[in-house]
Structure 1
């Protein structure tokens, strides 16, 4: 997607929100029909039948007829595609769309090509039932057959054109790099570079904490609570923008510099799960401490460093050149002699091998092991660097 910032007028914002309401209503109605299926009933209506029902509904309800038919039909097509993706196993089950959280709609066909360039900085798109809405022309507008208009929680509008960019060409130098992802250091490269994902400044973080405390004291449904929530959403949006910008620049640089990019094969969804409660054997019905708050802080660190987003963008920009390596004990294995022991890693940043005395940054050492594709078994056995054709030798003491 090639996304641009949209700047509608107050009247256009009201019309855009009305279009979002129509698309959300049609989606939820289609989801309700699909959810009503049981084994003793027949198949639920498909897209063709739902499109016919939509035509009848537009003739009955004035508020639905006032909206764009393209927006409403495309919501049905999007839901039909979501169901197909769910049955094929590539996506999750379609869920309900909520007001304030899922605000957006899609325009396809000839109406999506009504784009004019005002000048070097501004362009405009003709949105059905809304009019010409201008957007910031931060780069060349691609030739797309569809676009999506969305509104985030902070109130910003965007227009995204559905265009798949060309992958980044490989440099053909034969260089291989390993990337170790962490919390204190977002990405450590096997070349020795330490990359940190920017977040909120200390002043903004303190303000966010103050606003969240104010939010806890606000009455639900009050105007004051809505204003505080909007201010909090703007701070979170700022952090998300910085993280996405860092991910885009870092992934592009890695795809341009190296032929092969090796990363850890991490299951981030499982790693970021909340710990299970621990029952207290001495008190029936009671529980003991399970480190839930500490794990929550670790999970926030994982999400704030964009672990999954970085690998996803690397795979899109450098298809076929990203390899995932088993991450077992790569942080405890010496990149020089291959000795593996928990005592090798003294702290989060210091690695000192107990066998050869090699000392280096712990994240860089893990990145070198990842670049070499090294991993050990669950028994923490260091793989022998000998020919596989050699006969087994007796173990000798040092």
Structure 2
């Protein structure tokens, strides 16, 4: 089948496509080769015209010797890899954020329904669109890196929709710490957690796995002991059992790579080194073995 989209390359950066009813329209290339597509869509957003070609990306072949990599997603560090690398999604600069606040203040002071108000809102929207474009570009490149380098990519299974749910509440039952929760939601959404997971699945179909999230950040990556006190802070991990210490995100990514998630937490008694049995409600009458730490496979 031949291509239904007629395109011509003009130079290294520019090409043109034949739009029905409009004729030839130039567009800037974002890839080295012309896209092989059956259809395309032209849109206008934030004062700019965009053309998007419907192209199904070809899956990337596994390197066969890349092994397994664990990815722990966070707000401070976007993606901490189990091999020690830390990848951060690009954000707006301090100057750009100041420009957004400036445009928003001017829009708030402008008369309702005026052209000045609409113009200031449009300028702020263009800056926010710039951040979204950077996030999409980073996710595309990072997912390609993961698919080309590793055989299996494991992510923490996160319910991002529930994690970013508003805490505003209702009139009868208002929420608490609403402003803090709103700031956390913005920070999570700005990292592109879900987009990174989807892009990786597209490039490496069948090679992306989800690991249950519970206890991946509390489990020691060296001895396997699970204890809340080992998480000294948001950034530091110090195992109370073996003394292993490292970055908390890196330790969580090691557990994700090993597929160690959703394991019941052992409860330590007041005695030195003593442990208590993990008893479930359904089998409370049956004797349960004591947890003495869960070693890595």
Distance 2:125 2:168 in 1: 30
Aligned length: 273
For 1:1-398, what aligned pairs fall within 5 Å after superposition?
A: 112-138=4-30, 139-152=32-45, 154-275=46-167, 277=169, 290-377=176-263, 379-381=264-266, 395=290
| Superposition deviation, residue 244 in structure 1 | 1.2
CA contact (8 A) 1:278 1:290 kept: no
CA contact (8 A) 1:111 1:126 kept: no
Deviations 1:242-294 (A, max 9, x none): 11111111111111110000001111011110126388xxxxx6x66611111
| Superposition deviation, residue 115 in structure 1 | 2.1
CA contact (8 A) 2:227 2:266 kept: no
Question: Structure 1 residues 317, 288: CA separation in 2 closer, same or farther (over 3 Å shift)?
Answer: closer
Please report the TM-score for the alignment, with normalisation by the length of structure 1.
Answer: 0.64
Q: Which has the larger radius of gyration?
A: 1
Deviations 1:78-116 (A, max 9, x none): xxxxxxxxxxxxxxxxxxxxxxxxxxxxxxx99952323
Deviations 1:298-354 (A, max 9, x none): 111111000000000000000000000000011011111111121111111100011
CA-atom RMSD in angstroms: 2.4
CA contact (8 A) 1:215 1:225 kept: yes
More helix by share: 1
| Superposition deviation, residue 220 in structure 1 | 2.6
CA contact (8 A) 2:103 2:124 kept: yes
- The gaps in structure 1 that reach 5 residues or longer are 1-108, 280-284, 383-391
Deviations 1:144-169 (A, max 9, x none): 221111122x2211111112121111
CA contact (8 A) 2:154 2:211 kept: yes
Please report the TM-score for the alignment, with normalisation by the length of structure 2.
Answer: 0.85
Deviations 1:64-90 (A, max 9, x none): xxxxxxxxxxxxxxxxxxxxxxxxxxx
Distance 1:114 1:175 in 2: 42
- After TM superposition, the structure 1 stretch with the greater mean CA deviation from structure 2, 189-198 or 121-130, is 121-130
CA contact (8 A) 2:57 2:202 kept: no
